[in-house]
Chains A and B, each alone.
Chain A
Amino acid sequence: MATATHTLPHAHAAEQTGVWSWITTVDHKRIGILYGVSAFILFMVGGIEALIMRMQLMGPNGTVVSAQVFNALFTMHGTTMIFMAIMPLGAAFFNYMIPLMIGARDVAFPRLNALSYWVFFFGALFINSSFLFGTPPDAGWFAYAPLSNRTGTATHSVDFWILGLQILGVASMMAGVNFIVTILNMRAPGMTLMRMPVFVWMTLVVQFLVVLAFPIITVGLVFLMFDRLFGTNFYIPEAGGDPLLYQHLFWLFGHPEVYILILPAMGIVSEVLPTFSHKPLFGAEFVIFSGIAIGFLGFGVWSHHMFTTGLGPVADISFSFTTMMIAVPTAVKIFNWIATIWGGQLRFATPMLFALGFVFMFTIGGLSGFMHAVPAIDLQQQDTYFIVAHFHYVLFGGSILGLFAGIYYWYPKFTGRLMDERLGALHFWCTLIGFNLTFFPMHFLGADGMPRRIYTYAAWEGWSFWNHVATIGAFVIAVSQLIFLYNYMTSRVRGKIAGSDPWDGATLEWATSSPPPEWDFDRVPPVSSSRPLFDQKYHGAPKAPPGRDDGIHIPPPSHWPIIVGLGITMIFGGAMTIPAHGPWISLAGFFIFLAGTFGWVFQPGYGYAPEEHH
């Protein structure tokens, strides 16, 4: 049912509507929207999981949920937020904005792009389906062996987690390759690497981190799965195996993963701050190089998550050193952002509020992180709420606030309307207050000895007051998001029309209509600096000639990505049933995958079949 490829006639038909057109879309903008909507729904699922935990911990001797359910809640909250909320929210922006920002008309591999989304979609469904089976993952979001191994957990809960992550990992890896090729190879003429927007640079670094780090966890999880399914000995001490190997492999991935989570938000902030300060980004090259340095150094710090495992002084000191080193490029960025707004004509529109919130909150998170870098201190802080405070400051106060800045900033571009500023400001302040109410007290609780992952505590511990405050804060956060949702949905119909360039931006995405046509640009604008639109608007640089390029090629929709995605999901998901029921689901999935791949390779309009010419 794929339509033939077409080059645009002069009067074009509007992009198709209807569910099938969304299922078969290969348009990066639509795929971006799919990611964004899915991610936000899952963000709310993760939020509900958090709220239930906060209700359970509100006072001592809580009876809201059992210990067993609580284990599943903190496991799924973390897993959901990291893999199914923050990462796909980032992917939403990569998909929608990257081609626009580099003056391309789509990504390098449009169908692979769609496949990444569908695999993510099925993976998220798969791992959450565990709730329906009564065995949600419950060994923590990192599922250390031996708890997660065959004797530690006999139910399928960990299997759901392992296989779910493998599926999600496949999606990320394919997107990684896609965006690396897109960014390196599809930049408009004149856009050298150093003229790319910082958001594009951070995305490039992130995709390299994905491509390099995910294979490590893939193997580490394969080992765990084989231990559970086939009785191998990777993490079995009785056979000479080492459970600590799991931690090494997990964190060799896990640490680059946290930079995967934060760099996109840093990129967004690097776009928003200059726009609303009416000043260029201070030291853009330094911000870019710092991002690269963070990515590279991020592979050398992983055992700072393992200071309490008895690695010995040499390892402890080495990783402590590398961890402190990574604070340097991070600080460089913060100073450059502050220097950007210093002396600028500041407009406190909602994107700017969130970007400023990011700088402030992320700095706090960075400071607590720096403390953990000292093994002696970390011995006190590890596995307490102090760590919980740290990573929420960097992931919520950092990534989430940064991503919200992006949503408010680019909402006009993908909907054509502006969000309401007063509701936006309200959302920001309520979120900021609620967030600090929830997580700042966790520094106190952690310093006071409250461990992580406990489902309740006694009254005599003295933790009741701050837990109570934190729970109130959590509800404030939750209600604030309702303000956002209301604003998002009503602005779509009632928002002020935005036009192509509502913020007086400098980069190429503002050089096309809001929303852009299916082919993104009528003509790709000429580029001769890192601020091509400013050059055109204020420095007399030549604009693109009027009219539209000839022979713009639009890849036809395709149903093969969703089919191949289903096959991949079945291959992994079916592994869980192998010991009891045999490999039939995986085998069926493999054939679906194979058939889908052949259909894909030979799809008309995509290379092997002759094109229709108009």
Chain B
Amino acid sequence: MSADAHAEYTALGIPHRKLGFWTFLGSECMFFGTLIGTYLSYRGKSLTGPYPHDTFSIQVTTISTFTLLASSFFMVMALHYVREGKRFAAGAWLLATAGGGLIFVGFQAFEFTEFYHKGLSLSQNLYGTTFFVLTGFHGAHVSGGILWLLSLFVMNAQGKLPKEKEMDVEIAGLYWHFVDIVWIIIFSCVYLLEFAQ
């Protein structure tokens, strides 16, 4: 990341870091695609229980899904206020986004513990294996994002996020929204399909 005393020259008119980050998100599509593809390929093939319908709770999933969705909106608002140079509002929305992520992760942890008490573990059967690894990696991504957002919050509080630095927040936003859309897919392919059938 070279410093810009003057605007960096770009052949495509897109900042390097933004283009680089979209490319990285492309690779993440392949990463989660493999995880989701494995989950769906193995769906229904667990030889022993507990099975998805023994464990899933629609209430918990509803809360965590709405929370993550809302946090995407909070992120958009945070970027908006960074662009306006409104430090306090930006900080508040950044914290709200991180908070939404934390609540989501909290509910995931709660869900994992509930499933464990119902007899589902990583090694118990094929369903436990695929479910925990898929949602676990997603949760790890959310956690990384929370760390990122909290760092931005601290930097903003120290006055280090003027509107000239808005691209840094935009890129964090790209990551956060991506983590949200992966959940949209997991939510439908893992949970909704199970409830619907």
Task: List chain A positions with a Cβ less than 8 A from chain B.
Answer: 5, 7, 106, 108-112, 173, 176-178, 180-181, 184-187, 189, 191, 211-216, 218-220, 222-223, 226, 230-234, 238-242, 245, 249, 252, 551, 553, 555, 598, 605-608, 611, 613
Q: Which residues of B contact A112 (CB under 8 A)?
A: 1
Q: Is B57 an interface residue (CB 8 A)?
A: no
Chain B positions within 8 Å of A110 at CB level = 2
B193 located at the interface, meaning its Cβ lies under 8 Å from any Cβ of chain A in the complex: no
- Say yes or no: A220 contacts B34, CB within 8 Å: yes
- Considering only residues 1-41 of chain B, those with a C-beta below 8 Å from chain A are 1-6, 9-12, 14, 16, 19-20, 23-24, 26-28, 30-31, 34-35, 38, 41
A360-B91 Cα distance, complex, nearest whole Å: 64
Given the known interface contacts A185-B14, A240-B46, the answer about A232 and B133 at a Cβ–Cβ threshold of 8 Å is yes
Known: A219-B34, A607-B3. 17 other contacts (CB 8 A): A109-B20, A176-B27, A180-B23, A181-B23, A186-B9, A189-B11, A213-B30, A219-B35, A220-B34, A226-B129, A231-B122, A232-B133, A233-B123, A234-B38, A240-B47, A240-B125, A607-B2
Chain A proximity of B193: nearest CB distance (Å): 18
User: With the chains together, A223 CA to B132 CA distance in Å?
Assistant: 12
B35 CB contacts on chain A under 8 angstroms? 219
The tally of CB-CB contacts under 8 A between chains A and B is 131
Select which of B16, B45, B122, B151 is within 8 A of A185 by beta carbon: B16
Provide the residues of chain A in CB contact with B118, threshold 8 Å.
none
**Majority DSSP secondary structure for residues of A touching B:** helix
Residue in B9, B129, B130 whose Cβ sees the most chain A Cβ within 10 Å: B129
B126 at the interface (CB under 8 A from A): yes
With beta carbons under 8 angstroms apart, the residue of A215, A233, A553 that contacts B5 is A553
Given contacts A223-B133, A249-B34, is CB(A108)–CB(B20) below 8 Å?
Answer: yes
On whether A232 and B122 interact (CB within 8 A), knowing A177-B24, A219-B35, the answer reads yes
Are the C-beta atoms of A212 and B46 separated by less than 8 Å? no
Bound-state CA distance A17–B154 (Å) is: 39
Chain B residues positioned under 8 Å from A186 (CB to CB): 9-11, 16
- Chain A nearest CB from B147 CB (Å) reads 8
Q: Bits for B36-72, please: 1 = Cβ < 8 Å to A, else 0.
A: 0010011001111000000000000000000000000
Give CA–CA (A607, B165) in the complex, Å.
9
Given A184-B11, A219-B38, A240-B126, decide whether A605 and B23 contact each other with a Cβ distance below 8 A: no
CB distance A232 to B123 under 8 Å?
yes
Q: A184-B19, A215-B30, A239-B46 are in contact. Are A222 and B3 (CB under 8 A)?
A: no
Give the residues in chain B near A241, CB-CB below 8 Å: 42, 126, 129
Given A212-B27, A240-B46, A241-B126, does the pair A185, B38 have CB atoms closer than 8 Å?
no
**B30 and A553: CB pair below 8 A?**
no
Tell me, rounded to whole Å, the shortest Cβ–Cβ distance linking A136 to chain B: 28
The verdict on A181 contacting B20 (CB below 8 Å), with A214-B27, A232-B123 known, is yes
Interface flags, B150-188, vs A, CB<8A=1, else 0:
010000000010000000000000000000000000000
A422 vs B100: C-alpha distance when bound (angstroms): 69
Highest count of chain B CB atoms <10 Å: which of A191, A212, A598: A212
- Say whether B11 contacts A555, CB under 8 Å: no
CB atoms of B30 and A608 under 8 A apart: no
Q: Are B5 and A551 in contact (CB under 8 A)?
A: yes
> What are 10 residue pairs bridging A and B, where the CB atoms are less than 8 Å apart in the complex?
A106-B2, A185-B10, A211-B24, A223-B133, A226-B122, A234-B133, A239-B48, A239-B125, A240-B125, A241-B126
> What's the minimum C-beta distance from B112 to chain A, rounded to whole angstroms?
14
Distance in angstroms from B164 CB to nearest chain A CB is 11
* Chain B nearest CB, measured from A609 CB (Å): 8
Interface centre among A233, A238, A245 (most CB of B within 10 A): A233
Residue contact B1 to A111, C-beta cutoff 8 Å: yes
Query: B31 and A218: CB pair below 8 A?
Result: yes
